[in-house]
Amino acid sequence: MNTFRVLKTAVTDVAATTTQPGATAARTGVLNLSKGFTLQTPNFLAPTSRGVVPHLSPDNLEKNTGVEGVYVALEDFIEKAPQRVPPLYTYPSTLRSFISLPKSTFLVLSPRRSPAITCPKANSDANLSILTSVGFRDLPIKDYVSAIVRLEPDIVLGIADIANTVSPGKNRVQKMAMRTEKWLDELLGRVYECEDGSKDGEKKTVPAVFAPILPLEKERQRFYLSHLVENVEKLSGLVFTSADFVDVVPEELGGLPKLQSDVMGGPHQVLEMVGRGSDLFNVGFVGATTDAGIALHFTFSADEVGDGEEKLELATDMWDAKFATDLSPLDEGCECYTCKVHHKAYIRHCLEAKEMTAWVLLQIHNLKVVERFFGGIRKSIEEGWWEKGRSGFEKKYKSEMPVGTGLGPRLRGYQYKSVGGDKKLNEPAYRSLDSGDEDEL
């Protein structure tokens, strides 16, 4: 059984009048997945690229990080379809095995990367527009639904029909809700048919299904939400692409865990979302920070902060030349592998030399900072100092991340938005010697 239990709800001014546990307040909980995973919330998921947490081999992920769950997109694996069968489908085992995911880490499967790049072609009744590594194409809904059985994720996210415009018209809104409902029913039907149809009489474990909440006001998705309420027994969670719509969730669904799939804004955004009752966070900002050569260093604690003090940076740009001879760790007192074994000068040298180790070491450290941050949030709710911790954090740290000054690792088209006329993302690695610009080489 996939279950979620709210353990404690933070008492705040807003929540003091709320009777529903966790409807609009920070809360701790425990998510149990049928395949034996247990997760304390609030907590984070690490986004993956083609099934890999960027820069980390599976053994590094297991040994040197506290990542408990990863967010994997099907669109990352199916560029050969429909002309050829993608290797993922000819491989004789599960997706977990295909990407060598450590046994202790659970897998969340989504149709699209997060944040998803907008496709030029709109979705249709039977297809979702996706972007694979070789371009845009359609993903038939039935293919995603049948892939679930074969790939055996621990959590599967329902497909939302999200319009390409920020404020869709009345007809489009109606279509969004109807398609999302129909696609969710197809997914639930397949998942539960699988459970009931096990031949050996033993019920097969089913993945936890998280239903998408549309980025629309409550009134505009009223019928869809009431459909979710009718099916609440079959749902194990809710997934949001925008934090602005957490409050549309009706009371009957308040006991389900809420996953925020696009968390690019950093720790202040996380705190805002935790404060509104979100439980799980796909932390895209960590990868973006690591790629920029930036080391995070923030903590969530009960320390008192004076009002007059200058705010601290959330992170440090490791490309800065002042670190060239700095033999101190990234963060004094950090227990991660990077901080125990290496110093700033070495990491900066690796960045300058475009040595991949730089990003490996930064990713290990940055994930550890985020792990401690979520640990602090849970502790604050448990011990009753959440509000104090949150306001202290806001007073203590600047709201923006510093901007990286160096080049990141090589970028790929399917990871970044581009519009016509953009400069190339990657500097050319080689130039012709007789092109007349030898002086620059």
* Residues binding Zn ion (CB under 5 A): 331, 334, 336, 338-339, 365
Question: What whole-number distance in Å separates Cα of residue 392 and Cα of residue 15?
Answer: 20
Question: What whole-number distance in Å separates Cα of residue 279 and Cα of residue 282?
Answer: 10
Among 74, 183, 51, 84, smallest CA distance to 130 is for 74
Q: Pick the closer one to Zn ion by CB: 123 or 338.
A: 338
Q: Pick the closer one to Zn ion by CB: 45 or 334.
A: 334
Task: Name the minimum Å distance from CB 290 to Zn ion.
Answer: 12
Task: Name the minimum Å distance from CB 230 to Zn ion.
Answer: 47
Task: Name the minimum Å distance from CB 340 to Zn ion.
Answer: 8
Sheet strands side by side (includes 3-9): 3-9, 27-32, 38-41
For every residue of 101-130, DSSP letters joined together read --TTSEEEEESS-SSPPPPSSPP-SSEEEE
Cα atoms in the Cβ-side hemisphere of radius 13 Å centred on 178:
10
Task: Name the minimum Å distance from CB 287 to Zn ion.
Answer: 16
* Cα 102 to Cα 45, 50, 58, 66, 94, distances in angstroms: 14, 15, 6, 12, 13
Q: Pick the closer one to Zn ion by CB: 106 or 359.
A: 359
Q: Pick the closer one to Zn ion by CB: 61 or 145.
A: 61
Whether 18 and 258 have beta carbons less than 8 Å apart is answered as no
Task: Name the minimum Å distance from CB 102 to Zn ion.
Answer: 20
Measured at the CA of 104, the angle between CA 56 and CA 141, to 5 degrees, comes to 80
Q: Pick the closer one to Zn ion by CB: 26 or 369.
A: 369
Tokens of 204: 């097969």
Task: Name the minimum Å distance from CB 333 to Zn ion.
Answer: 9
Q: Pick the closer one to Zn ion by CB: 248 or 362.
A: 362
